[in-house]
Amino acid sequence: MSFEMSTFAAATKQALTRDDILNEISSDVSRVQLHLEVNSFHSLALLLKFEWDIVALKESFHASQDLSEFLTDSNVSLKTDSVAPIHPECQLCLAEEDVKGLACRHMACGLCWKAYLKTKIESGNPSIECFDCPLLICNDRLKPLLRKSELLTAYQELIVNSYVESTSYLTWCSKNCGNVVRRSGSNIVSCSCDAKFCFQCKLDPHTPASCDQMRQWERECEDHKELGRFADKQSWEWIQSNTQDCPKCWAPIQKNGGCNHMSCENPKATIVRPNLEKIASYLMPFNYQKQKLENTNDSSLISECRRVLMYSYVYAYYQEPGKVMEHFEQLQKELRDQLDMEKFKQNLQKCEQLRNSILDYCISSQTGKKVGKKKTKDCCYITSVFFLVLLLCFILAASIALTVIWFV
């Protein structure tokens, strides 16, 4: 396979190996090399300096008077060898043996170079400058200084990592399998190791909850570990059958005799308790669906519906209660009832329809297309048209009246 074809093939893949990334790096280096007419070592040094932003690199180049000025401003030297003094001496330890230098004529012995480069590589920045000036050390000078040590391998990995971290549509697989995953539209990405995760936050797919909501949710769940003992399947099923939510604090309450009047005994003097009870009302169904997802051998459609329902409780936890949310909660209940049925009774089409309705609701809410707002806009528009028509009728009637009076 030719280089061009292999690069195109890599661009169409979602899961990329280390070799695929090296091919993409080589492609970018070649593009800069042809555009600036410099060698590959200078091209790589410039790409590292500009953090792989070829557009910014080209704009900076065209803003300069010529190539020499651009390279000087970028701290890159076209000279490949330094002119060493007659009696070279290490500027760091004053040793006189095995002394090497750069085009800037700053000299150091092999041990000092290795110690300095080790510190720079461990800092995580692949764009390495001379120890005594801002001149960038190109790859052709680094290799002899590192002498095929483990540091050279670490530096090469640093280049690969910098490319991935600087490319907005690439990220490392969340399962640490060594692959890189490319985003191509959706935030939900898949790797060849069967990992499936959110591109933005690396968590499991959590639609319809946002990444910010998931981060906040995990912090709050960490603060309420004591709820873990209540969040099992049996507890949740008992609560569903024997309690109902308090309309003020969302705590599950149970009728224990007497008249039909029910009151919540949630202590008002406690500050933490209401938050605890509120999150419990969402955490328990969340964990219930999570357990079902992990322990039940469902079809892919049912599993996806269950996953959406599970994360819909995270989404709902951060919404303001009221009439608008009542419809959403009804969709949750209907989907939960469908999923809790025996497999042969489940209506797959109904499950899919409810899942899509939940997702559509969340998308419309995030984009501001809420039912209440739309109705208000429609009413304002209709009212404006009505008064405009009324005004035109009044003007027309007045004109007719004036015409009749004129002729009379």
Give yes or no: residues 52 and 113 share one domain.
yes
One domain, residues 240 and 139: no
- Tally of CB atoms within 10 A around 31: 15
Whether pLDDT at 378 is above 60: no
Distances (CA, A) of 53 to 12, 44, 74: 21, 12, 14
Say what the pLDDT of residue 385 is: 55
Both 384 and 273 in one domain: the answer is no
Number of domains in the chain: 3
| pLDDT band per the 50, 70, 90 thresholds, residue 6 | very low
Distances (CA, A) of 150 to 118, 142, 337: 10, 13, 58
pLDDT class for 146, splitting at 50, 70, 90? Answer: confident
CB atoms within 10 A of CB 107: 21
pLDDT surpasses 60 at 1 = no
Least confident of 58-72, 147-161, 262-276, 385-399: 262-276
Indicate whether 192 belongs to any domain. no
Residue 262 predicted with pLDDT over 60: no
Q: How far is CA 173 from the centre of its chain?
A: 13
The model's pLDDT over 173-227, given as tens digits with 9 standing for 90+, comes to 999 899 999 998 888 999 999 999 999 999 999 999 999 999 999 888 877 665 6
Instruction: Give the CA distances from residue 310 to residues 118, 204, 396, in Å, rounded to whole numbers and listed in that order.
Output: 47, 12, 62
Q: Which stretch of DSSP H or E encloses residue 3?
A: helix 3-12
One domain, residues 358 and 384:
no
Q: Is residue 191 part of a domain?
A: no
One domain, residues 22 and 163: yes
142 and 78 in a single domain? The answer is yes
**What CA–CA distance (Å, rounded) separates 381 from 386?**
9
Query: In this predicted structure, what is the pLDDT of residue 247?
Result: 55
Residue 306 has pLDDT above 70, yes or no: yes
Domain boundaries, position 158? 3-167
- pTM for the model stands at 0.69
**Binning pLDDT at 50, 70 and 90, where does residue 265 land?**
low
| Mean pLDDT of the 4-28 span | 76
- Does the pLDDT value for residue 299 go beyond 50? yes
Side-chain-facing half-sphere of 165: CA atoms under 13 Å:
11
Name the band, by pLDDT with cuts 50, 70 and 90, for residue 250.
Answer: very low
Q: Is the pLDDT of residue 336 over 60?
A: yes
Mean of the per-residue pLDDT values of the chain: 80
Whether residue 180 lies inside any domain: the answer is no
Looking at the structure, tell me whether residues 263 and 160 fall in a common domain. no
Residues 396 and 316 in one domain: no
User: How sure is the predictor about 58, in pLDDT bands with cuts at 50, 70 and 90?
Assistant: very high
Inside any domain, residue 190:
no
Residues 108 and 34 in one domain: yes
Q: Is the omega angle on the peptide bond into residue 85 within 30 degrees of 0, that is, cis? A: no
For residue 54, being part of any structural domain is answered with: yes
Return the CATH number at 62. 3.30.40.10
Report the candidate in 92, 89, 94, 57 with the shortest Cα–Cα distance to residue 73.
57
- The string of DSSP codes covering 18-78 is HHHHHHHHHHHHHHHHHHHT--HHHHHHHHHHTTT-HHHHHHHHHHSSSHHHHHHHTT--S
The string of pLDDT tens digits covering residues 80-106 is 666 667 788 999 999 988 888 888 889
In the structure, what pLDDT confidence band is assigned to residue 374 with cuts at 50, 70 and 90?
Answer: very low
Contacts of 187-196 spanning 24+ positions with Cβ under 8 A: 189/14, 190/14, 190/15, 191/14, 191/15, 192/15, 193/15
